[in-house]
Structure 1
Amino acid sequence: MPHLRVGVAVLTMGNRPAELHALLDSVAKQDLQPVHVVVVGNGSPLPSLPHGAHGVELSENLGVSGGRNVALDELRKLGDVDVVVDLDDDGLLISPDVLRRVAELHEREPELGVISFRIADELGRTQRRHVPRLRVGDPRRGGPVTTFLGGGHSLSMAMLDRIGDWPEDFFYAHEETDLAWRALDDGWRIRYEPDLVLQHPYTSPTRHAVYHRMVARNRVWLAKRHLPAVLVPLYLGVWAVLTAVRSRSAAGLRAWAAGFAEGVRTPCGRRRPIRWRTVWRMTRLGRPPVI
């Protein structure tokens, strides 16, 4: 049996109590039991939790990044966690060996910082946006990647102790990419493991004004925080063109432009550009940091 100890973290806004309990039941049925399960009520009260789950209720919604950092803090207080697994509250672990295989993979590769699960609906379909590659190809093909999926993944606690936790100011959107770029620059590996499945209802991202603003603002922050200076205008220019071409809503495009301007004029935290060898490494993995 693997000796790495796995903790599980779940964020909820209190609006999916049935789905949350189904998820926690699937965690309880794992053949490697987590040492701790932490459920964070992100600005909402929590429903009753099963025995052994630790609940934390926040008085305000701190976003994905802030809520996950609260869960990490709680897991550190509880202690004895080597790997944390983050799961969406409406997801489901359909195989009982997911946590064991996560522990085995991290134990076998100490430099493995992140494992990205495959997100699939009840029919086994994986949406294009849920494959962390530019060229999607077969969603069941795994391997090294440059980013990961927020809905189901594992993080090495040793890695987080080195590179830091989630970027709280992001609230949501691109927080996984920010963490992934820091991990790659510190020498860690990110792997997409399609055999590790989180079943999740088929959804499309909500295209409201706040969504467009946050996506654009955080994209600019991401570039300002992490890219070599010469790549910043190239990266943002590419994404501006792609957004204009893909946009189907004038209101959405206006919200995106407002978020872009906000990102340019507001501070984004400490600037620490990734090294050129990291840029080359990402390019060899199929996703240079210009798109």
Structure 2
Amino acid sequence: MGVAVLTMGTRPAELRALLDSVAKQREPARRTVVVGNGAPLPELPEGVIGVELPENLGVAGGRNVAIEELRKAGDVDVLVDLDDDGLLIDADVVSRVADLYETHPKLGVVSFRIADETGFTARRHVPRLRADDPMRGGEVTTFLGGGHALSMAMLDEIGGWPDAFFFTHEETDLAWRALDAGWKIRYEPELVLQHPRTSPARHEVYYRMTARNRVWLARRNLPAPLVPLYLGTWILLTVARTRSVKGLRAWFAGFGEGVRTACGTRRPMRWSTVRRMTALGRPPVI
């Protein structure tokens, strides 16, 4: 087991509390790495590997650096990614994740439940369409970036995070590639990352990158007939949900950028994967 944390140096107290909660696990991780994403790192606990990047590579790029750092060691089978302002409130998270991977050989991703200090889980933090019950676990088609585990064997097969995405939708891109390669994704609500409740307020850069990356996601991964269906659905949803005129302008600017610019290698998923995702409750058109 390995643990990876990204930080931009703005939450030293929260980072230290998180690392302390990792160190207090009854079965400790073999290695823990902290990546300073374009920022110097604070003093780290003994034994924690620190990597300082000269520039911010985004969530996707920074996490790929962590993967490579753990891969070099050659003794990590499962990687746990944690937000730097999160906290492991239970001491058996690492051991329970390890047990899941030992029991299920084709388990690729385990998604944790994100809850605030009162135990509340926001609807947007449940990785399924029918999100009324955050305690319902099982197989899903995507996962939460704030707290999750990844099989290193899966990453060796499908590749890492899409660097160019920087942030937003990088989890979905990785999830779709994992599903298409036959790996499973599980949401395990008993595995909790405590995380401060955040405002759903958004900024223009978020709108732009969300739209750009959604177009890239479709172009990279979907069979050709599903691309317009998926993007058309999200145009309608965005127009219906967004109350900010500036946000809509930024979103459509990002959408145009996603159409015009290179999206990386196109590897459309198999129709059998589409059927599997549909059976799991989330066909890749929404």
TM class by shorter chain equals over 0.9
Letter in 2 for 1:219: R
Runs of 4+ in 1 over 3 A off after TM superposition: none
1:25 aligns with 2:20: yes
For residues 133-159 of structure 1, the C-alpha deviation after alignment (integer angstroms, 9 at most, x for no partner) is: 000021011000000000000000000
Q: Map of 1:188-227 to 2, 5 A cutoff?
A: 188-227=183-222
Indicate yes or no: 2:148 matched with 1:149. no
Following superposition, the deviation at residue 206 of structure 1 comes to: 4.4
1:1-12 correspondence to structure 2 within 5 Å = 6-12=1-7
Of 248, 253, 262, which aligns to 2:248?
253
- Check whether the contact 2:121–2:134 (CA below 8 A) recurs between aligned residues: yes
Question: Could you tell me which residue of structure 2 aligns to residue 3 of structure 1?
Answer: none
- Counterpart-to-counterpart distance in 2, 1:205 and 1:74: 33
How high is the sequence identity, in percent, across the aligned residues? 75
Q: Does 1:81 align with 2:64?
A: no
Gapped runs of 5+ residues in structure 2?
none
Residue aligning to 2:229: 234
Query: 1: CA distance between counterparts of 2:201 and 2:59?
Result: 15
State the Cα distance separating 1:78 from its structure 2 match.
Answer: 1.9
1:167-201 CA-to-partner distances (Å, cap 9, x unmatched) read 00000000000000000000000000000000000
Q: Which residue of 2 aligns with 1:113?
A: 108
Displacement of 1:32 after TM fit?
A: 1.0
Question: Helix, strand or coil for the counterpart of 1:245?
Answer: helix
Task: Give TM-score scaled by structure 2 length.
Answer: 0.99
- The answer to whether structure 1 residue 44 and structure 2 residue 36 are counterparts is no
Structure 1 residue runs of 5 or longer lacking an equivalent are 1-5
Structure 1 Cα separation of the partners of residues 118 and 29 of structure 2: 28
Distance 2:197 2:74 in 1: 35
Query: Within 5 Å, which residues of 2 pair with 1:128-167?
Result: 128-167=123-162
Counterpart among 164, 169, 178 of residue 174 in structure 1:
169
1:56-105 Cα offsets, whole Å, 9 max, x none, are 00010000000000000100112200000000000000000000000000
Match of 1:65 among 47, 60, 66: 60
Question: Does the CA contact (< 8 Å) of 2:109 and 2:186 recur in 1?
Answer: yes
Q: Identify which range, 179-188 or 203-212, moves more after superposition.
A: 203-212
Aligned to 1:264: 259
| 1:204 CA drift (Å) | 2.3
Distance 2:113 2:125 in 1: 7
Residue 225 of structure 2: SS of its match in structure 1? helix
- CA separation in 1, counterparts of 2:201 and 2:169? 15
SS at match of 1:114: strand
Tell me, what secondary structure is at the counterpart of 1:80? coil
1:243 aligns with 2:238: yes
Which whole-Å CA distance do the structure 2 matches of 1:60 and 1:78 have between them? Answer: 24
Aligned equivalents of 2:78, 2:11: Cα separation in 1: 26
Which residue in 2 is equivalent to 1:282? 277
Q: How far, CA to CA, are the matches of 1:93 and 1:100 in structure 2?
A: 12
1:94 aligns to 2:89 (yes or no): yes
- 1:245-289: CA deviation from partner (whole Å, max 9, x where unpaired): 001100000000000000000000000000000000000000000
Given that residues 123 and 132 in structure 2 are in contact (C-alpha distance below 8 angstroms), is that contact kept between their aligned partners in structure 1? Answer: no
Instruction: State the AA in 2 paired with 1:123.
Output: T
Letter in 2 for 1:210: V
TM-score (norm 1): 0.98
